[in-house]
Amino acid sequence: MVVGSAVIILVVALAYWLTRPLPPPKVTGSVQITKDGRTKYSPLFTDGSRLYFNAAVADGYAVYQVSVAGGEAVAVTTPFVYPSLAGISPDGSELLIQMRGGLWILPTPAGTRHRVGDLLVDDGTWSLDGQRIVYSKDDGLYIAKSDGGEPRKLVTVPGTASWLRWSPDQRKLRLTVLDPKTQTRSLWEVSADGTSLHPLLPSWNSPPAECCGSWTPDGKFFVFQSARNGRADIWAIPEEGRLFQKSGGEPIQLTTGPLDFSGPLPSKDGKRLFLIGSQQRGELTRYDTKSRQFAPYLSGISVEGVDFSRDGRWVTYVTYPEAALWRSNVDGSESLQLTFPPLQAFLPRWSPDGQRIAFAGKLPDGPWKVYTLSPEGGRPEQTISEERNEIDVSWSSDGNSLVFGRLPGAEPGGPNTVAIQVIDLRTHRVSALPGSEGLFSPRWSPDGRYIAALPTSGDQLLLFDRTTAKWTELCKLLTGYPSWSRDSKYIYFDSPQGEPAFCRVRISDHKLERLVGLKNLRLAGTYAWTGLAPDDSPLLLRDTGTQEIYALETQLP
């Protein structure tokens, strides 16, 4: 009888142990790995002793390395211009670099680079045994031998795939998919043979805002990044339960606090989680062309997309990073918030008569659309109803029309299928600007004669003369945020090409002038915003935020 009771107790205890829920993963401490203030980009990769990542430099970005214990980050010497770090070989001896669509292998710490066949990719990574490379291009997911041979398509995905990650048993892949219409990101899973493609977390976050996931080495957890309530944090999905328990489960939040966290990477031993912690903030800064000094402007508020009314009395801007549209007097008085979450605003423009503000706006589950509204407030009015992205809006000189561009990465046929569009606000008729195929980022001159634009591929600033209906090249230079002078005689812009600088080009003779170098400035805002003050002096948003790599000590049961 005693033996029977003992057996029953043992069985009950064993059943409880086998069925009780696992304790949740938790963070027990953190260590700051870098302290240099340099802008850093995920993904991170590790060979066990070092972390590799992309970081901003004066003329773009480069590959850096730092000890997993922390210390000074050192640039990795590469023969590439704008090398995008895509992966690291299973033994840690080689880096996978994506550059201008091609994949390259770079031995570390030194060696001769070589290209992976003739593959053209958006992203790519090695299999865990190093024998294959899986890669994405447009809406396709592909696989090839490690030398690029025998490429074949695995599956078509509903968008652009990136952050491709193998499960530890190499039976499945998880990836981030960018929806071309809504520009939202979500996590997807597919079997290694290309079957069973499905969203990983359907209906978990509406609209989805998840990306950048990786498995822990033992396969028990999948960690990823998710944006909610205006901030980004790291979450973990339990992949395995105890015996008789269903594997998988609801995501568990790992991070919180004042920083946004992104790009999680489990350490080789699974005891730490490397990630980037950031706090976004900028200082509006003006360059005085007479004193040749930079100084805070409008009290150094953290805003971008600054635009002034024609009489110079009023200013409109978008707060950074909140993306809310405001207007005020140039002295800061009579400020009024015009848009509110969840609508995001971008690049507002005053109408010539000062009675309307046009801007690009985006709701979480929709594309970028052109809106107009009164500077006194009210409901923003959408100009056209089609479900395509509209960005970079600009007014005609008479205020009767708007010009806008498409979002190059969001068009089904690729960037070369975009074209500049003109809306007649009186009839709401939309027409393509002649010869503008493959162009975006239009800017209408204040006098109404010209429209400037940029090609989706290539380093040029182009000009359309409405009197002749012809396009000409103003300059051959990588161009960002073109802005017209008040008198329509110049176009100002920033260029990261060579020595980064703020430049201008004269319309009459195409004379190019370098106004001020930007090499020693860290710029913030959407794609490092720049603009002009009412006197045509350069404006920029100086980066005053923080962005460093951290290691979280974790307990993952």
The pLDDT value recorded for residue 412 is 66
Segment 48-100, tens digit of pLDDT = 999 999 998 876 789 999 999 999 999 998 888 889 999 999 999 999 999 98
- Worst-scoring range by mean pLDDT, 334-338, 515-519, 552-556? 552-556
SS3 10: helix
The pLDDT value recorded for residue 519 is 86
Q: Which residue has the higher pLDDT, 229 or 166?
A: 166
The pLDDT value recorded for residue 425 is 96
The domain over range 23-92+121-280+546-555 is classified in CATH as 1.10.10.10: no
Segment 340-351, tens digit of pLDDT = 999 999 999 999
Answer for the pair 243, 73: CB distance below 8 angstroms, yes or no. Answer: no
pLDDT(11) > 90: no
pLDDT(489) > 60: yes
pLDDT(1) > 90: no
Segment 168-210, tens digit of pLDDT = 999 999 999 999 888 899 999 999 999 999 999 999 998 999 9
pTM of the model as a whole: 0.83
pLDDT(505) > 50: yes
The pLDDT value recorded for residue 415 is 66
The DSSP code for 297 is S
Give me the phi and psi of 299, to 5 degrees please.
65, 15
Continuous H helices in 58-194 = none
Please give the average per-residue pLDDT across 475-479, as a whole number. 92
Segment 212-270, tens digit of pLDDT = 999 999 999 999 999 988 899 999 999 865 443 444 579 999 999 899 999 999 999 99
pLDDT(414) > 70: no
Segment 153-165, tens digit of pLDDT = 999 999 999 999 9
Answer for the pair 264, 225: CB distance below 8 angstroms, yes or no. Answer: yes
Give me the phi and psi of 410, to 5 degrees please.
-110, 0
Q: Is 498 left (phi over 0), alpha (psi -120 to 50) or beta?
A: left
pLDDT over 70, % of the chain: 93
Please give the average per-residue pLDDT across 293-321, as a whole number. 97
- The pLDDT-based confidence of 542 (bands split at 50, 70, 90) is very high
Fold of 282-474: Neuraminidase (2.120.10)
pLDDT(12) > 50: no
Answer for the pair 523, 16: CB distance below 8 angstroms, yes or no. Answer: no
The pLDDT value recorded for residue 457 is 81
Q: Where are the domains of the chain?
A: 23-92+121-280+546-555, 282-474
The pLDDT value recorded for residue 386 is 87
pLDDT(385) > 70: yes
To which residue do tokens 């990136």 refer?
162
What is the three-state SS of 200-243? CCCCCCCCCCEEEEEECCCCCEEEEEEEECCEEEEEEEECCCCC
Cis peptide leading into residue 534 (ω within 30°): no
Please give the average per-residue pLDDT across 286-310, as a whole number. 96
- Worst-scoring range by mean pLDDT, 10-24, 268-282, 285-299, 306-320? 10-24
- The pLDDT-based confidence of 296 (bands split at 50, 70, 90) is very high
Computed over every residue of the chain, the mean pLDDT equals: 91
pLDDT(504) > 90: yes
- Worst-scoring range by mean pLDDT, 3-7, 294-298, 516-520? 3-7
